[in-house]
Chain A
Amino acid sequence: MKRLRQLGRFFMRLLRELSDEGAYRRHLLRHGRNHSKREWQHFCEHHLTAKYRRTKCC
C-alpha cells in the first residue's frame, strides 16, 4: 500500500512537471510571491516564451 501511494505521488509530480505547474510553484517560491491571475500571466510570458523557443523532437 505504501509503495502504491509512493507511485501515485511520483505520478502526480511527473504530471505537475509536464504541465509546468511544478515550474510555476518554484517561480512563486523563488520570488516570494502568492498565486494570482497576474502572477500566472507573468510566469507564462517568460516561461512559455522560453519553452517554445526550443525544438520539439520528431
Chain B
Amino acid sequence: MKKILGRLLWAAIAAAGAFCLAGLAVDRDEPVNSIWLVIAAVCIYLIGFRFYSAFIAAKVMALNDQRATPAERLRNGHDFEPTNKWIVFGHHFASIAGPGPLVGPTLAAQFGYLPGTLWIVIGAVLGGAVQDFIILFCSMRRDGKSLGQMAREEIGKVGGITALLTVLLIMTILLAVVALVVVNALKGSPWGTFTTAATMPIAVFMGLYLRYWRPGKVLECSVLGFLLLMASIFGGEWVANSPVLGPVFTLSGIALAACVIIYGFMASALPVWLLLAPRDYLSTFVKLGVVLMLGVGILFVRPDLELPALTRFTDGNGPIFAGKIFPFCFITIACGAISGFHSLISSGTTPKMIAKESHARPVGYGSMLIESFVAIMAMIAACVLQPGVFFAVNSPAGVVGATPEAAVATITSWGFPVTAVEMETLARDVGEQTLFYRTGGAPSLALGMAHIFVKSGGGQALLGFWYHFAIMFEALFILTIIDAGTRVGRFMLQDLLGHVYKPLGRTSWMPGVILTSAAVVLAWGYFLIQGVRDPLGGINSLWPLFGIANQLLAAIALCVATTILIKMHGARYMWITCAPLAWLLVICFTAGWQKIFSPHPRVGFLAQASELSASLAAGAIPAAKVSEVNALIFNNRLDAVVCGIFLVLVTTILIDSIKLWAGLLRGRRESKLVEAPFIVSTLRAEDI
C-alpha cells in the first residue's frame, strides 16, 4: 500500500511539473505568475533528486556506508572531520553560492524568462548537479584530492598542468568581471558607495574585536557587524543627501575601479584575520539570510513576470550583450545550471567533511539543485520589472543612446515602452540620481528584489532602503570573492615563482608578498579598467569570456569524471558525464569561435578591432579619442587571444582524455583506479 501511495505521489509531482511547464510554454498573451515557474522547477528538482541521483549513487558509484571516508580515516580535527550531513550541506552550499547564479540569469533575461529558466533547471539536473556529485565522490574516494591532482593522476601530466593554467586564467577574468558588476552598480551612487565602503571599516573593527577584545566569539561579533551594516545603509541615505559628503562619495567608474583594485591589493597583503576573514563571515551570513528572505518573499508575493517568455533579442541583437540565444544563453548562465568552479569546491573542503559515503548525494547533488533554485529566484526578480525599465537599466549608452531621451526612444521602439519621467521617478524612489546605463545586472536585480521585499511588507517608503540593502548584499559578497580570489591567485603565483627565485615562494617574505599581490591585482585590474572604459558597457565582452571559461573548466571536470567512470565500468555509464560534456563543448566552442571570428563587430572581438582600425585609418576618430580607440583595438585583440587560449587549453586536455578513453575501452591501456583502500567504517550515527 505504501509503495503504491509513493508511486502515486511521484506521478502527481511529475504531472504537476509537466502541467506548470506546459503553462509557461503556452501562455504568451498575458503576464504569467511566478508561482508556475517555482512549482515547475521544484517538481523537476524533486524528480531529478529522487530518481536520477539515486540511480547514479546506487548503480554507478555504489556508495557504501560501510566504507570509511577520508574524514574518518584521516581525522585530524582540522580539515578532515566527520560532520553531520546537513551541516556539510550548508557549508557546501555557502561555498558554491556566489554572484554567478544571481547575475547570469538577470543578464540572460534579455532573451525572455523561458530560455534561461529551462537551461537553469535542465542544466542543473542533468549537468551541474551530476558534475558536482561525481567530482565530490571521486575526491572522497581519493582522500580529498583536488581536481588538478585527480586530472594529473587519472589522465596524465598534461591534464594536471592544463587544469592549473585554466584555473589561473579563469580567476583573472572572473575577478575582473565581478569587480565590473560592483563598479557599474556603484557608479554615481553616493548611497551605495558609502554603504559598500562602510563594510571595510566594519570588517576591520570585527577583526580587531575578535583578535583582542572577544577572541573566538565569531557569532557575537557577526551580529554586531550586521547591526553596523544596517546602520550604514541608513547612514548612506544621509550621506547621499549631504551637500558636503554626497559629492565625496559620488565616484566615476574609473575612480571606483581604482578603489576596488587598491582594496584587492590590501586584502591580499594584509593579515587574513584583519580584513578577509571577518568580511567573509559577514558575507556568508548575509548571503544565506537574503537568499532565504528572497525565497519567502517570492512565495508570499507571488509576483507576475512582466518580461515576455521570449523577446525579439533571441536573434542576437540584444542590448545587454550581443549574440544569438544559441550559444550565448547557455554561456551567460553558468552558475545556476553548470559551473566548473563548483568542481574546485567539490574537490576541496567538502570531501574532507563527509562522514558517510551516502551523504555525498544530498551534499553534492542536492546543494547544486538549491543553487539552481537561487538562479530561478534571480530570474523571477529580474522579470518582475517592467521590460522597458529592465532594458533602460541594463543597456549601455553605446547601444541605446547617450541621453535619457534617446535611450527611452530606442527602448520604446523595440516594443518595450518606458518614459524618461518614469525612470526619473523610480530613481528618486530608490534614492539614486539615475538608473540609466547601470549595466552588469546588479542594479536591476536589486530593483526586482526591492519590489518583492516592499510588497512583502513595509510599503513603498522602504523601496530605497531595500534597493540599497540588495546592492550592499551583492557588493559585500562580490568583494569577498575579489579579496579571497586575489589571495589565492597570489599563493598560486608564489608557488610558481618560487621555482625561479626561492624567496618569492615564501609566504612570509614581505617583498615577495607585495610583488605577487600587485601582479595578480594588476592582471585582473587591467581587464576591469578595460571593461569600465568599454563604450558597450564591458559586460558585452567580459561576461561571455567568463562564461566560456567557467563552462570550459566544467568540461575539464567532466573529462576527469568520464575517465574515472570508464575505469570503473567501461563504456556502460560514460553517457552520464559524456552527454553534458558534449553539450558544453558544443556551446563553448561555438561561443568561443563566434567571440573571436564573428564578422559582427558587437559579437566578434577581431571584427570590432577591424572596424575601429578602419575608422581610425579613415580619419573618422577625433584626435582626442585616438589613444582611447587604440587601447580599445588592443583590448579586443587581447580578448580574442585570451578566448583562443581557453579553447586551446581545453582542446589539449580533451585530446589527451579521448586518447586515454580509446586505449581503456579497446583494452590497450591498463584500467588502474587510484582509489584509497577499503577500510571498514567504525563511525556510529550518534558520533556524527
Contact = CB atoms under 8 A, between A and B. Distances in A.
Do A and B make up one complex? yes
Interface of A: 10, 13-24, 26-27, 29-30, 35-37, 39-41, 44, 46-58
Contacts of A22: 87
B318 interface: no
B90 interface: yes
A27 B219 contact: no
Given A17-B90, A19-B281, A48-B272, A58 B212 contact: no
A49 B274 CA distance: 12
Closest 8 pairs (CB-CB, A-B):
A40-B215, A19-B218, A30-B77, A26-B77, A58-B100, A14-B90, A56-B484, A58-B98
Contacts of A53: 487-488, 491
Given A40-B211, A56-B481, A56-B488, 12 more contacts: A17-B87, A18-B284, A27-B78, A29-B77, A36-B215, A40-B210, A51-B277, A53-B488, A56-B95, A57-B335, A57-B342, A58-B341
B335 A21 contact: no
B167 interface: yes
Contacts of B174: 58
B83 A58 contact: no
A13 B87 contact: yes
B285 interface: yes
22 contacts: A10-B86, A13-B87, A14-B86, A14-B91, A17-B83, A17-B90, A18-B288, A24-B216, A27-B78, A30-B78, A40-B210, A41-B211, A41-B273, A52-B487, A54-B488, A55-B167, A55-B348, A56-B480, A57-B95, A58-B99, A58-B341, A58-B550
A48 B277 contact: yes
A54 B78 CA distance: 15
B349 A54 contact: yes
B143 interface: no
Given A19-B222, A57-B339, A58-B100, A40 B90 contact: no
Given A26-B81, A55-B341, A57-B335, A18 B91 contact: yes
Nearest to B217: A21
Nearest to A45: B273
A57 B344 contact: yes
A47 B77 contact: no
Consensus secondary structure, chain B interface? helix
A47 B281 CA distance: 14
Contacts of B210: 40
Interface in B83-107: 83-84, 86-87, 90-91, 94-100
A20 B550 CA distance: 29
B107 to A, nearest CB: 14
A55 to B, nearest CB: 5
B603 interface: no
A55 B178 CA distance: 15
B384 interface: no
Contact of B488 (A17, A44, A46, A52): A52
A51 B334 CA distance: 25
A21 B219 contact: yes
Contacts of A30: 76-78
B91 A57 contact: no
A41 B546 CA distance: 38
Interface in B535-587: 546, 550
A9 to B, nearest CB: 11
Contact of B273 (A24, A44, A54): A44
Contacts of B218: 19-21
Nearest to A56: B484
A32 to B, nearest CB: 11
A57 B284 CA distance: 12
A27 B481 CA distance: 27
B79 interface: yes
Interface string B449-491: 0000000000000000000000000000000110011011001
B171 interface: yes
Nearest to A16: B219
A17 B87 CA distance: 7
- Which one of B90, B97, B215, B550 has the greatest number of beta carbons of chain A within 10 Å? B215
Nearest to B92: A57
A6 to B, nearest CB: 11
A47 B62 CA distance: 34
A53 B488 CA distance: 5
B277 A44 contact: yes
